[in-house]
């Protein structure tokens, strides 16, 4: 499997597409690319020695959301990927790649997933946290023509805190939870600052009355 060729194919299929009208062009390609990079780093931290499935993990991550918007996107993604990659990898590799795509969004439903599935599930979730969550939120609000107050309200709503708790509980690995917590810490700091500065306040109290 030539991973550079796989990346080119991924861009050709997803690099210009808008999955829905509140996401940037190519979102699923760039999300797939970030997920792939994250997944390989997770694999290195979880199992330092065994890199035998890295190409499988990378390719599956790149294409995991190819059918986003055509639900069930995990099942339809498998059908699409079989077409796109049929001349790029062996039958066995293709079977392993589609297996990951099929179960990438079945988090928490089984303890029996192979390591590769569990890693991609975690990487996919982590890419929605931290700075990437802020990016998504701002793009979403901007497409709706909303003001900064919409983001302040969104982040201060209890539903967002529940969402964070739910996401964390579905992660498979302790290292993923640590990365999640680090990204969530940034989000909380960001919300505090956004809530102040978005209302015209000076966040750093030390700078007031100097």
C-beta of 105 vs 195, nearer to Fe ion: 105
Q: Closest distance between Fe ion and the C-beta of residue 126, in Å?
A: 10
Q: What angle do CA 196, 202, 208 make, to 5 degrees?
A: 145
By CB under 5 A, which span of 38-46, 87-95, 119-127, 189-197 interacts with Fe ion? Answer: 119-127
Q: Closest distance between Fe ion and the C-beta of residue 124, in Å?
A: 4
Q: Which two tokens stand for residue 116?
A: 């590769």
- The contacts found for 149-157 with CB under 8 angstroms, 24 or more apart, are 149/198, 151/194, 151/198, 152/191, 152/194, 152/195, 152/198, 152/199, 155/187, 155/190, 155/191, 155/194, 155/195, 156/191, 156/195
Q: Does 65 bind Fe ion (CB under 5 A)?
A: yes
Q: Which two tokens stand for residue 70?
A: 């055509």
C-beta of 132 vs 150, nearer to Fe ion: 132
C-beta of 79 vs 202, nearer to Fe ion: 79
By CB under 5 A, which span of 9-17, 61-69, 130-138, 167-175 interacts with Fe ion? Answer: 61-69
Contact residues for 200 (Cβ-Cβ < 8 A; gap 6+): none
Q: Does 124 bind Fe ion (CB under 5 A)?
A: yes
Q: Does 133 bind Fe ion (CB under 5 A)?
A: no
Q: State the residues that interact with Fe ion by CB under 5 A.
A: 65, 124
């Amino acid at each position: 499997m030539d991973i550079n060729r796989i990346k080119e194919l991924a861009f050709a299929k997803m690099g210009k597409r808008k999955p829905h009208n509140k996401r940037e062009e190519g979102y699923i390609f760039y999300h797939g690319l970030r997920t792939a990079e994250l997944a390989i780093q997770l694999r290195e931290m979880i199992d330092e020695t065994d890199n035998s499935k890295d190409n499988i993990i990378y390719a599956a991550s790149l294409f995991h959301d190819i059918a986003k918007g055509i639900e069930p996107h995990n099942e339809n993604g498998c059908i699409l990927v079989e077409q796109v990659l049929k001349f790029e990898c062996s039958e066995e590799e293709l079977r392993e790649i589609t297996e990951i795509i099929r179960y990438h969004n079945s988090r928490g439903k089984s303890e029996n997933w192979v390591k590769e599935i569990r890693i991609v599930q975690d990487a996919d979730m982590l890419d929605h946290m931290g700075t990437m969550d802020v990016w998504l939120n701002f793009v979403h609000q901007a497409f709706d023509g909303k003001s900064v107050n919409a983001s302040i309200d969104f982040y201060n709503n209890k539903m967002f805190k529940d969402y964070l708790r739910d996401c964390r509980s579905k992660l498979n690995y302790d290292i993923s939870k640590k990365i999640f917590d680090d990204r969530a810490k940034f989000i909380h700091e960001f919300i505090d600052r956004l809530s102040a500065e978005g209302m015209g306040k000076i966040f750093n109290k030390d700078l007031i009355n100097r």
